[in-house]
Structure 1
Amino acid sequence: MTFATDQKDDEEGLSPTSQAMLAMRQQVFDLWETAVRGHIDEAQAVSGPILVNTLPAFYDNIAEALTPSYPREHGASNTTAMSSHGGERARMTTFRADQIILEYQLFRDAITVAAHRHGVHFSAEEWRVVEVSIDAAVRDAVREFSLIHERMRERLAATLSHDMRNPLSLILAAAQLITHSPDIEVARRMALKIGAGAQRLQLMLAQLVDVLTLERAARLPLVMAEFDIRDVVAAAAQQFNVGGDLPVVVDTVSVRGYWCRSSLYRALENLLTNAIKYGDGGSVRIKVGGAQGRLMLSVHNTGNPIAEDRREQIFQYLRRADGNSVTEGWGIGLPYVRSVAEAHGGSVAVDSSAASGTTFIIDIPVDCRRFADAPVPAG
């Protein structure tokens, strides 16, 4: 089974080098995780599923791209999965941008070592595909990582300018009174007010630093339970497969985990609605897979691809393009899907091309209990 972002089922049609890459996948990730934990201190406290992030899909994308006839130029083409990798690093870890670059360098090194152990020999052109894939992934991941931190800084600046006005006004007024009042008792009272205002500012700064350091994107409230994702997939598919029509095809394996059933169901429902609405009338396929402690739940449709410059925009809530009108878009469904994925400690990505169709992938840890705000019900 492959985990590539275009929902390819198997290794049929892939070159021997591509198949060899898939065969050594587990050893590559074992080597990579050991190296990352050994070189990046911030990785020590990160669980395996959070650390591995969207990399299994990226790895299989590279394997596909090693087949010259396959419609994928490199491992990061046609997909937002590597932007999602950078987004998760910003939201879920304390990694720095240079450490993201380092982890990709270690990823390349792990491929080199595993290939040597497995006797896999890359041609110059095949290795160029690997290098180009990693370079493109680094750019995508670091760009998204930087954008998220920039938004954090913007929120911090807005909060500072708004919340600190009151204590600053109090301190300035008290200082002016001390300057103009000859009464020592008035000066003493004003000095106490200045001290109180300064303490308030100090507390606010400490809280804001905590927020800036530990902030994660606002998450939906989750109610966790243990269940098999197949049950949710079957229920969602049945909702659309009525009246004798079978527009939704299910390709699933059993994956049990701790998630919020209702929010995942709604997210899947939104993806299916969009796939049917924007597809070409062909069947829509739901696929379920698991790797490295992660669940990959994807929905695929055929039809016109999503333009490259819109692949990130479609996950944003509709906003006004000018003072009078609202931009056309995919509504609130996809932003909700992103919120659900991020609330579960993961991400959502899209892979879209004319050759392969469009696939949306929810990529989240199998055990998401640590991300819930509510107690865990009985399984």
Structure 2
Amino acid sequence: MTFATDQQLNHDSLSRTSRAVLAIRTAVFDQWEHEVRARVEGAAQLLRPILINTMPAFYDNLAESLTPDYPRANATSNTNVAGVHGNERARTTTYSAAQVIHEYQILKEVLFRVASQSGIAFQASESQVIEVSINLAMRDAVREFSHMHEGLRHRLAATLTHDMRTPLSVVLNGSRLIEKTTSLDHAQMAASKIRDQAARLSEMITSLVDALTYDQADHLTLAPSTFDMHALALEVKDQYSDAYTGGFEVIGTPVTGFWDRDLIRRALENLANNAVKYGDGGCVRITVKEYRERMMLGVHNSGIAIPVDMQSRLFDYLRRGPTGGVQGWGIGLPYAKNVAESHGGSIAVDSSKESGTTFVIDIPVDCKPFIRS
């Protein structure tokens, strides 16, 4: 089973090298996890689902791109998955940009090492694809990592200028009163107010520092329970089957985890609605997969591709570009993104003329450690 973001089913067209790279995936990630925890500062404390992030999808994209005729020139073609990796690193870890880069460098080292140990001899052109893929992934990941932190800094500045204005004013006025008064009672009263407001400022600063390492501003409140994601996908399929003539299918395996069922269902329905609305009338496919304590929930449709320059903005803007004469993403994609991130994960998009469009919610199988009140 491939975890590539295009969620294609036909692996027979992949080259021998692509299939060989997919076959060593587990060995690569065994070594990658071990080395990242040992060599990247702060990685040793990360739970596995957070450490793994969207790396398996990137890895399988890379494997696909090693097939010369495959519609993916490198692992970042047609998808924002590397940028999503950087965004999630900014939201869920205390990493710096250098640590994000180091992870990709280790992945390249481990891939070449395990491939050599497994008897895989890359041609010069294949090695070049791997080099380019890793370099582009580092660029995309660091760019989105920086954008995420830039957004946090803007919110920090807004909070500093607004919320802290009142206690600072009390402190300044109190200090002026103490400076001028000859009354001990007035001075003690002013000092008490200064102490109280200073304590408020201290709490605010602590909260703001926490916000710099994790974005809690827009997270949803979760009511998690245990359920099978594949069974939920079948329910959504049945919901659409009678009304949509193009057909719905669900593939994959049962994955039982701990999530908010209502939120996930609404997010899945939003993605299904978009697949029907923006597809070409063909079959809509929902895929459920699990790998290394991460669950991937994909919704695929055929039809006109989403331009690459729009993919990074789909989840932040309310309108899609004029492709196919259809307007209006509405709030479906921003909502699905919020659901994914509230579960400690991400959502990525992969879209091309040849492969169609796939949105992938990629979240921990057990979201309990990542729930915030």
TM norm structure 1: 0.91
2:338 counterpart residue number: 339
Report the Cα offset of residue 244 of structure 1: 8.4
Q: How is 1:228-239 mapped onto 2 (pairs within 5 angstroms)?
A: 228-239=228-239
Q: How is 1:305-320 mapped onto 2 (pairs within 5 angstroms)?
A: 305-318=305-318
Report the Cα offset of residue 42 of structure 1: 0.9
CA contact (8 A) 1:6 1:351 kept: yes
Aligned pair 1:363/2:362, yes or no?
Answer: yes
Q: How is 1:1-379 mapped onto 2 (pairs within 5 angstroms)?
A: 1-183=1-183, 185-216=185-216, 218-242=218-242, 245=245, 247-318=247-318, 329-372=328-371
CA contact (8 A) 1:91 1:217 kept: no
Report the Cα offset of residue 26 of structure 1: 0.5
Task: Please state whether the residue corresponding to 2:145 is helix, strand or coil.
Answer: helix
2:324 counterpart residue number: none
Counterpart code for 1:364 = I
Report the Cα offset of residue 194 of structure 1: 3.4
TM norm structure 2: 0.93
Task: Please state whether the residue corresponding to 2:360 is helix, strand or coil.
Answer: strand
2:322 counterpart residue number: none
Greater displacement, 43-52 / 21-30: 43-52
Kindly, what percent of the aligned residue pairs are identical? 51
User: What 5-or-longer segments of structure 2 have no aligned partner?
Assistant: 320-326
CA deviations over 1:314-337 (Å, ceiling 9, x no partner):
111539xxxxxxxx6411001111
Counterpart code for 1:362 = I
Using a 3 Å threshold, how does the CA distance of structure 1 residues 147 and 244 change in structure 2: closer, same or farther?
closer
For these two proteins, the number of residue pairs brought into alignment is 366
Using a 3 Å threshold, how does the CA distance of structure 1 residues 199 and 264 change in structure 2: closer, same or farther?
closer
- Once residues 330 and 357 of structure 1 are traced to their aligned partners in structure 2, the CA distance between those partners, rounded to angstroms, is 17
Report the Cα offset of residue 235 of structure 1: 0.5
- Once residues 343 and 60 of structure 1 are traced to their aligned partners in structure 2, the CA distance between those partners, rounded to angstroms, is 25
Task: Please state whether the residue corresponding to 1:75 is helix, strand or coil.
Answer: coil
Q: CA RMSD in A?
A: 1.9
CA deviations over 1:129-149 (Å, ceiling 9, x no partner):
001111111111111111111
- Once residues 244 and 306 of structure 1 are traced to their aligned partners in structure 2, the CA distance between those partners, rounded to angstroms, is 22
CA deviations over 1:258-288 (Å, ceiling 9, x no partner):
2221111111111111011001111111112
Task: Please state whether the residue corresponding to 1:313 is helix, strand or coil.
Answer: coil
- Once residues 236 and 199 of structure 2 are traced to their aligned partners in structure 1, the CA distance between those partners, rounded to angstroms, is 54
